[in-house]
Amino acid sequence: MVRACRMVRLSRAAYYRPAHRQSERDRPVIDALQELIAAEGARWGCDLLTDRLRHLGHAWNPKRIRRVYRAQGWVRRRRVKRRVPTRPRQPMDAPAVLNQTWALDFVHDRLEDGRPFRTLNVLDEGNREVLAIEVETSLPSRRVVAVLEQLVALHGRPQKLRLDNGPELIGRPLVEWCEAQGVTLGHIQPGKPNQNAYIERFNRTYRTEVLDAWLFHSLQDAREITTHWMTTYNTKRPHNSLGGVPPLDFIPRPTSVPMSS
């Protein structure tokens, strides 16, 4: 036995010592952590839990506590901020000219049964006219391009699009479409929604007067109510920044489809 232990470089004391599972040796640490997490530390990290255990009188090594914490699968995944390209500041220049700048943004809501849906809102900054509100469960970059193509066929091509850095609005289909059409992409700086203030203010109005005011049973229900409200917004609802007149009274759009009163 002595020669065998020497060959495998194992001490005789370790050979004769009964084997113990690591989880059994760490049972006091596991129980203490479980009790602490269940009581008050459900959202605490390992460092806070270690400090709390030491404050309670436990003298376990912090490395042991961290090893047990990780082995039990309690590590909270840290959200990594998505990196976006550096964007130049977008000044809020909006002369009273149609088709110079269109603003785009998304709004989220839910149907009566809890299913989520989104709306793509498109606004002409020249007269604050809402050009489109596309209602769908999913609005990828290709769907954004399809909506813009319909608007261009109806109203003409804008010189610039003002939008944020959402994945649908920085996707390759939209970038390639703008390059082909000669439309400038004006992405605002990350975390600066005030650089797209016109559409942000419109979104609040749309949420207050439509999304929060109605209970939608289906997407078609949301589309019909939204379409009716768009007509009212563009032709009847007074706009404070336009001198108290509706958008299409402030600057009529000759190429737009006549809206019923």
Same-domain status, 68 and 105: no
pLDDT at 35: 87
**Claim to verify: residue 72 and residue 111 sit in the same structural domain:** no
- Domain span at 47: 22-78
User: Nearest Cα to 186, choosing from 199, 168, 169?
Assistant: 169
Q: What are phi and psi of 120, to 5 degrees?
A: -100, 115
Pair 73, 108 in one domain? no
Same domain, 109 and 204: yes
Question: Is the residue at 10 inside a domain?
Answer: no
Shared domain for 27 and 149, answered yes or no, is no
pLDDT tens column, 40-99: 766 788 888 889 888 889 989 999 999 998 888 888 777 776 666 777 787 777 788 899
- Residue 161 near residue 185, CB atoms below 8 Å: yes
Residue-wise pLDDT for 195-212, tens only, equals: 999 999 999 999 999 999
**Tell me, what CATH number does 179's domain have?**
3.30.420.10
pLDDT in tens, 135-176: 999 999 999 999 999 999 999 999 999 999 999 999 999 999
pLDDT at 254 exceeding the cut of 60: yes
- Say what the pLDDT of residue 38 is: 84
Q: How much is the pTM?
A: 0.68
Tell me how far apart the alpha carbons of residues 240 and 238 are, in angstroms, rounded to a whole number.
6
Q: What angle do CA 198, 183, 189 make, to 5 degrees?
A: 50
Q: Are residues 70 and 198 in the same domain?
A: no
Examine the domain organization and report whether 141 and 216 are in the same domain.
yes
User: Is residue 33 exposed (0-12), middle (13-18) or buried (19+ Cβ within 10 Å)?
Assistant: buried
The confidence score (pLDDT) of residue 19 equals 62
118: three-class secondary structure by DSSP = strand
Residue 115 clears pLDDT 80, i.e. is over it: yes
Assigned domain for 14 exists: no
Task: Please state the domain count of the chain.
Answer: 2
For CA atoms 184, 188, 190, 196, give the dihedral sign: negative
